[in-house]
Structure 1
Amino acid sequence: MSNVNTHFLSTVKLITTLCFLLSASSALSNTVISSGTIMIDLTQANEHQQWEATNDNVMGGISQGQLTFDGQSSRFWGEVSLDNNGGFSSINRAIGPLPFEVDRVAVRFIGDGRRYQLRLATWKSGNRITYKHEFTTIKGQRQEKVFDLNKFQAVFRGRLLSDAPELTAQDTKQVGLLIADKQPGPFALNLIQIQFKSSQKASEYNHP
């Protein structure tokens, strides 16, 4: 590879890194910090504007999905299609730095009976890695699911990565949700709250 091409690729990588970090930094002001817990409040009318949708049309599919505010919560909704080898819809949001002691994520939502993935992305040494944790929903029922960071699985385009580093709070720069349950049809997940917290603090709270 020529020096010109090497310099160009290095410049692109640097610009991408800076944009990602600036986006995460600006997102910090949109989280609520209370009692040592970082919370994303999806009942706020403007919160959905911090999220970006990515659907399978980037790979030729025709699934559709978006995050909107319905007056009470933020609604991740759309329709999954398996046509053209598609089958997924996702949303994601940059987040500010998380305290190193954070080791779990709690999500409150009202589901539709389908299976989703909570996804966290890290950005370290110029490399992005995505981690997933699947969860099921009960149609029309308000639920809270708590996910330990050490139970997330590293993935790349749907394939598990066996040699990825352990997921840590301080490296996490993005949170997202994805539906890819291989079932065509409409979906709707009403998101209420996402909390990043420490199990140690939870233990201290529950056992004074």
Structure 2
Amino acid sequence: MNSGQLIFDFSRDTDVSVWKVVNDVVMGGKSSGKFSINNEGNAVFYGNVSLENNGGFSSVRHQFLKKKINSSTKIKIRLKGDGNAYQLRIKKNQSDYYSYVATFQTNNNWEIIEVNLSEMQPKFRGKSLSLPNFSENSFEEIAFLIGNKKAQDFCLEIDKIYLE
């Protein structure tokens, strides 16, 4: 399927404890997201986004040792969404307060989403920052977030994530 550098390949044996769900409850919201492996060996990020108490997002993230980008120019994800828009987020350093963000639309079918690294924009709490787009040679965190300013159920099934 790919000739690039693997970031994560989910299987029935995947230890999902290395992925952390962060919902808007950290700021008083009531959204609920979960992350698990299904019978097919794919990761499933699912739940409900609530706008109560100024909430409105759910995310799941994975931190790791520095992943070199080398000559790669994009992140590719084989996934099956539910028709909702999601954000792909990366951080150069785990300790950075902001992420580089790209939004993608899903279509209820298995597909490969391609995100050009150079088009990922720096954002913090949904606001764009006056910094250049991603141009680093490595990163230490990858995340998926749903926060479309509406209350909604969601389900994103992920097979694999890689650089190309």
Same fold (TM over 0.5): yes
AA aligned opposite 1:122: K
Which of these residues, 50, 53, 56, is aligned with residue 84 of structure 1?
A: 53
State which structure, 1 or 2, has the greater radius of gyration over its C-alpha atoms. Answer: 1
Following the alignment from structure 1 to structure 2, what is the Cα–Cα distance between the partners of residues 167 and 175?
13
- 1:133 counterpart (81, 88, 102): 102
1:60-99 alignment runs, 5 A limit: 60-72=28-40, 73-96=42-65, 97-99=67-69
Give me the TM-score of the superposition, normalised by structure 1.
0.71
Identity across the alignment (%): 30
Equivalent-residue separation in structure 1 for 2:149 and 2:56 (angstroms): 6
The number of equivalent residue pairs is 161
Q: Give the gaps of 5 or more residues in structure 2.
A: none
Displacement over 6 Å in runs of 4+: none
Secondary structure of the residue that 1:45 maps to in structure 2? Answer: coil
Which amino acid in 1 is paired with 2:114? V
Instruction: Output one character per residue of 1:116-166: Cα deviation in whole Å (capped at 9) or x when no partner.
Output: 000001129x64430110011112x1011111111111001110012x244
User: For the Cα contact (< 8 Å) 2:4–2:162, is it kept in 1?
Assistant: no
Select which of 167, 178, 201 maps to 2:134: 167
**Relative contact order (alpha carbons < 8 A, sep ≥ 6): 1 or 2 greater?**
2
The alignment yields a C-alpha RMSD, in angstroms, of 1.9
Q: Residue 123 of structure 2 corresponds to which residue in structure 1?
A: 155
Give 1:188's aligned residue.
155
What are structure 1's unaligned runs of at least 5 residues?
1-33, 198-208
142, 145, 151: which one aligns with 2:113:
145
Please give the alpha-carbon distance, in whole angstroms, between the structure 1 residues aligned to 2:23 and 2:31. 6
The code of the aligned residue for 2:151 comes to: P
Pick closer, same or farther for the CA change 1:123–1:170 going to 2, 3 Å.
Answer: same
Query: 1:103 aligned to 57, 70, 73, which one?
Result: 73
Higher strand share: 2
Measured in 2, the distance between the counterparts of 1:145 and 1:99 equals 18
1:159-193: CA deviation from partner (whole Å, max 9, x where unpaired): 0012x244235341100100001221211000111
Equivalent residue of 2:118, what SS?
A: helix
TM-score, normalising length: structure 2: 0.89
Measured in 2, the distance between the counterparts of 1:127 and 1:114 equals 27
Compare 77-86 and 38-47 and name the one that shifted more.
38-47
